[in-house]
Chain A
Amino acid sequence: MKNNRSFLAIPYVVWMALFVVAPIIMVVIYSFTTADFSFTTDNFTRMGTFAVIFTRSFKLAIIATLICLLVGYPLAYAMAREGKEFQRVAMLLIMLPMWVNFLLRTYATMSILENNGILNQLFSAIGLFDFLNNTMGTDIQYFRMIGTQGAVVLGMVYNYLPFMILPIYSVIIKLDQSLLEAARDLGANSLGVFRKVIFPLSLPGILSGVTMVFVPSVSTFAISRLLGGGIQMMLGDLIEQQFLGGAYNPHLGSAIALVMMIIVVVCMWVMNHFGEGEEQAVML
């Protein structure tokens, strides 16, 4: 292209300055000020009181990310080895749930896990509780699943698993088959091929999958509220409460949001560091 068309980007650059950069500057300003806009770092020092919520958020998000990786990687791998038609259908099946609003899916999960939910009904129908009560001498009518950390992790895995599968799949599908053949010709067994060739080459997909699962998991507030029964509060709940909830304090909320943003920047930096030019992997 001889004549320069860079000016076409100008409207969006202005838009970004207004609606991406300016809001972030607002968050920074709010997080370092008090209600009457004098400088303070109190918002950050006060965060120590929320250490429990911070550790819980990170713990649950890390567990959910690991489970997604352990479940999603084999699935992506198995999918990539199937025929073209199969892959197309499988791809469709993975994308489809995303079209049902995640709140609804989470709500449906809730009705599965509830004390009188489908799962407990199933257990009692097959006589599991009677069996347990008879053999162990206990008296349980149901398993309590809602309101536990396990339920929150399940909700996260359930909602974000496709975000792990898609980038890994798109990296594996593009692997150069001749590399695998070369490895086999040089005497590697299938485990060796996987460990030395496939896995290292799919690392960019893994990293973008991990980021795409971890970031929304650590910041969720709806999943923890629905499945955590209101007792498993997470960082997202904390922020939400500072803005729209009872504990109105946008300055503290901004400070927590800023910390979260820094976490994301670190994640992004790590990703750029490992997977260069893998923009496409982030997408699909």
Chain B
Amino acid sequence: MSTNRKNRVGSRLYMALVFFFLYAPILLLIVFSFNAGKSGVVWQGFSLQWYAELFQDRLIIQSVYTTLLVSVLATAIATVVGTFTAIGFFSMRRRWRAPLLTVNNIPMMNADIVTGVAMCLFFVAVFGGWNYLASNYAFTVNLFGAIYRITLPKLYLGFGTLLIAHVTFNIPYVILSVSPKLRQMDSNLVDAARDLGCTWLQAFGKVILPEIMPGIISGALIAFTMSVDDFVISYFTAGSSTSTLAMTIYGMTKKGVTPEINAISTILFVVVLFLLIVVNVRESRAEKAAAKRQLS
């Protein structure tokens, strides 16, 4: 027993060390967001000036907005598409499903830079062909006597391609976290619902969806995390006019990061910390309640 306790102290000390290693840079980041000077290494007194300046900085605010918008949109699209695709895959024959799942794994397993570069090449080539078409052909439409000349719009790398890229690398994660829940689900439940007169859509809403909800939620969370954290794929697909926060930071690292960046990451960190704590407290409460119900 005593050796066991000693072991436990040792292992906890070890964990504390590793966590210190993981958190030291983040703590530093947060501390220096309150620095009065511009330096990231020399403390010059407490000040909130970087938080004030942050909200004046169009570039940073714009890139935070782009990051959040693309992450939210990509997560929403990927969650819906991924959930239905998972159901589709589930009811597919193995012969078809296996190769499709392999292709589905590609964006997850491939190095980010390979995915980014491949999409960059693809978009540039397709848009090149399209823009050639657009600049050489125009349609004329005769509408109620008036003749309209319609030229095809030119396409460039930008928010659209960024969104497509994010959706593409998010969907596999949703499929991967929904599929196990589908496999665990009792398929008799759906049959029972159908026998009792539900249409497939009703059965989906009343039976399948509640059963696989945890998988959908965790898939959406993973997708959102991946989107917010992504730098490499965005870097290759966003073009020069659109910039996510990560891209802005990367651009700054070349000439020195301003402490405004520390300030914005501190804010984001605190928000995420708060959300995670809320989710966790609720989960652990629900678990305890479930345990109590089982006892009584």
Contacts and interface: CB of A to CB of B under 8 A. Distances in A.
Contacts of B32: 111
A104 B109 contact: no
B171 to A, nearest CB: 6
Contacts of A89: 280
Nearest to B120: A243
A195 to B, nearest CB: 17
A100 B268 contact: yes
Interface stretch (A114-122, A123-131, A178-186, A199-207): A114-122
Contacts, number: 236
Interface string B89-100: 111110010001
Interface string A1-45: 111111111111101100111111011001000000000000000
Nearest to A211: B109
Interface in B212-246: 218, 222, 225, 228-229, 231-232, 235-236, 245-246
A268 B81 contact: no
A215 B111 contact: yes
B11 interface: yes
Contacts of A15: 81, 167-168, 171
B236 A244 contact: yes
B113 interface: yes
A140 interface: no
Given A21-B103, A118-B41, A216-B112, A104 B265 contact: yes
Interface size grouping (class) on chain A:
35 or more
Contacts of B187: 1
A116 B81 contact: no
A97 B85 CA distance: 31
Contacts of B106: 20, 24
A267 B109 contact: yes
Interface size grouping (class) on chain B:
35 or more
A21 B82 CA distance: 18
B137 interface: no
Interface string B152-192: 00000000000011011001010011011000000100110
A247 interface: no
Contacts of B194: 2
Contact of A99 (B14, B228, B245): B228
A7 B118 contact: no
A267 B111 CA distance: 11
Given A3-B200, A107-B253, A23 B122 contact: yes
Q: Residue among B88, B103, B165 with the most chain A CB within 10 A? A: B88
A96 interface: yes
B52 interface: no
Given A6-B88, A100-B265, A105-B26, A264 B111 contact: yes
Interface of B is mostly: helix
A111 B171 CA distance: 36
B119 A23 contact: yes
B59 interface: no
Given A96-B273, A100-B29, A103-B246, A8 B41 contact: no
Nearest to B13: A78
Contacts of B103: 16, 20-21
B117 to A, nearest CB: 5
A98 B84 CA distance: 28
Interface string B21-45: 1111110110010000000110000
Q: Residue among B41, B93, B180, B235 with the most chain A CB within 10 A? A: B41
Interface string B275-287: 0110010011000
Interface stretch (A48-56, A145-153, A250-258): A250-258
Nearest to B105: A268
B141 interface: no
Nearest to A212: B109
A93 interface: yes
A112 interface: yes
Nearest to B29: A108
A97 to B, nearest CB: 5
B19 A108 contact: no
A79 interface: yes
Contacts of A257: 113-114, 117-118
A89 B85 CA distance: 33
A283 B173 contact: yes
A75 B268 contact: no
A112 to B, nearest CB: 6
Contact of A9 (B92, B232, B249, B261): B92
Interface string A53-69: 00000000000000000
Contacts of A173: none
B258 to A, nearest CB: 11
B164 to A, nearest CB: 6
A255 B148 CA distance: 46
B249 A103 contact: yes
